[in-house]
């Protein structure tokens, strides 16, 4: 080897980094792990004084009351694969809410000026912020947080609103799902219909929204995560107000309210927990498991 090359090889670092470790890593998954932040995440979870609409179909009111009364918190592991799933879902939500392309002029919601915090409801602002003069691009979409009257322990964030004809404003919820589920889908999932029914119902009691929302019809938009360019990655379904869903929701809300008012009241355990004689995986990982069993013995 000519002297000059030999000298270069020993003295010039590759992009300023010691070439020792990383260049020997050629497995693509391993290389991603080495150079990206692919840590799992741990989050401490506390029990809330309200029932969240997005998990209403599965929530155990007994557990939530026991958790609140005993100040239970738990560490939840969010492995990186799940973190990516959530992040992709969130990214698609943000894209649909903030990009004008797909929902177009029918999209209604809150828009917040990032420069001064000013918030207004309606279509995406096409003018400067009326308060601080920031350019129209300074506005970011903000999901509507349900604001319930005293004594209604419900929370939720509504993805968006579509004005399908003048004055007919409907709740819309976005769901990103895996490609195979999407392909097979001919009807919306019941738990999602329940969630949209809950939004349609409780938003009627929310006096912070300046417009009236259709209480009988909403929309679910499914977005496939496996888009190949051959098929449309969107499927949209009507969601009708159905007593069946509202009975489930109102039953849970009434039980929760009862338990908040009366600290001696506790609803029965979930049927699935009883059926497993409290030995299911869900029972064993339940953060109020010991309290639940102790209350049964009383």
Contact with Zn ion (CB under 5 A) among 60, 66, 68, 129:
129
Q: Do 61 and 255 form a contact (C-beta atoms < 8 A)?
A: yes
**Is there binding between residue 244 and Zn ion (CB under 5 A)?**
no
Closest CA to 200 of 214, 188, 210, 190: 214
**Is there binding between residue 134 and Zn ion (CB under 5 A)?**
yes
Q: How far is the CB of 127 from Zn ion (least distance, A)?
A: 11
Closest CA to 163 of 103, 97, 106: 106
**3-state secondary structure at position 217:** strand
Side-chain half-sphere exposure of 8, counting CA atoms within 13 A = 6
Q: How far is the CB of 122 from Zn ion (least distance, A)?
A: 15
Q: How far is the CB of 117 from Zn ion (least distance, A)?
A: 7
Q: Which of residues 86-115 bind Zn ion (CB under 5 A)?
A: 113, 115
Query: How far apart (Å, rounded) are the C-alpha atoms in residues 93 and 173?
Result: 9
DSSP 204: G
Q: How far is the CB of 113 from Zn ion (least distance, A)?
A: 3
Number of C-beta neighbours around residue 92 at 10 A: 16
Tokens representing 53? Answer: 């609409």
Q: Do 115 and 138 form a contact (C-beta atoms < 8 A)?
A: yes
Tokens representing 209? Answer: 């929204």
Select from 10-18, 46-54, 121-129, 223-231 the region that touches Zn ion (CB under 5 A). Answer: 121-129
Q: How far is the CB of 115 from Zn ion (least distance, A)?
A: 5
Closest to Zn ion by CB, 69 or 118:
118
Tokens representing 262? Answer: 């009366």
Closest to Zn ion by CB, 115 or 248:
115
Select from 60-68, 132-140, 221-229, 259-267 the region that touches Zn ion (CB under 5 A). Answer: 132-140
**Is there binding between residue 118 and Zn ion (CB under 5 A)?**
yes
Q: How far is the CB of 61 from Zn ion (least distance, A)?
A: 42
User: Distance of CA 276 to CAs 6, 267, 286, Å?
Assistant: 71, 18, 14
Contact with Zn ion (CB under 5 A) among 116, 145, 294, 296:
116
Select from 19-27, 41-49, 124-132, 241-249 the region that touches Zn ion (CB under 5 A). Answer: 124-132
User: What residues line the site for Zn ion (CB under 5 A)?
Assistant: 113, 115-116, 118, 129, 131-132, 134
């Amino acid at each position: 080897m000519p002297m000059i090359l030999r000298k270069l090889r020993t003295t010039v670092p590759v992009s300023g980094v010691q070439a020792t470790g990383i260049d020997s890593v050629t497995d693509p998954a391993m290389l991603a792990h080495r150079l990206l932040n692919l840590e799992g995440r741990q989050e401490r979870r506390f029990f809330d004084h309200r029932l969240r609409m997005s998990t209403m179909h599965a929530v155990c009111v007994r557990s939530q009351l026991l958790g609140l009364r005993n100040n239970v918190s738990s560490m939840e592991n969010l492995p990186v694969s799940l973190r990516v799933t959530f992040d992709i879902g969130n990214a698609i939500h943000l894209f649909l809410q903030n990009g004008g392309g797909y929902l177009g002029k029918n999209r209604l919601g809150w828009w917040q000026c990032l420069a001064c915090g000013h918030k207004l409801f309606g279509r995406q602002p096409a003018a400067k912020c009326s308060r601080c003069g920031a350019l129209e691009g300074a506005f970011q979409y903000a999901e509507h947080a349900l604001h319930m009257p005293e004594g209604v322990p419900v929370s939720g964030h509504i993805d968006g609103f579509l004005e399908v004809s003048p004055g007919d404003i409907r709740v819309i919820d976005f769901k990103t799902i895996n490609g195979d589920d999407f392909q097979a889908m001919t009807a919306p999932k019941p738990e999602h219909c329940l969630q949209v029914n809950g939004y349609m119902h409780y938003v009627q009691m929310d006096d912070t929204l300046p417009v009236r929302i259709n209480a009988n019809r909403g929309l679910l938009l499914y977005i496939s995560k496996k888009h190949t360019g051959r098929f449309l990655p969107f499927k949209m379904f009507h969601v009708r107000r159905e007593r069946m869903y509202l009975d489930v929701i109102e039953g849970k809300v009434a039980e929760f309210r009862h338990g908040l008012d009366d600290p001696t009241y506790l609803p029965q355990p979930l049927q699935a927990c009883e059926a497993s004689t409290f030995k299911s995986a869900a029972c064993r990982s339940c953060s109020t498991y010991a309290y639940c069993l102790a209350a049964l013995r009383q």
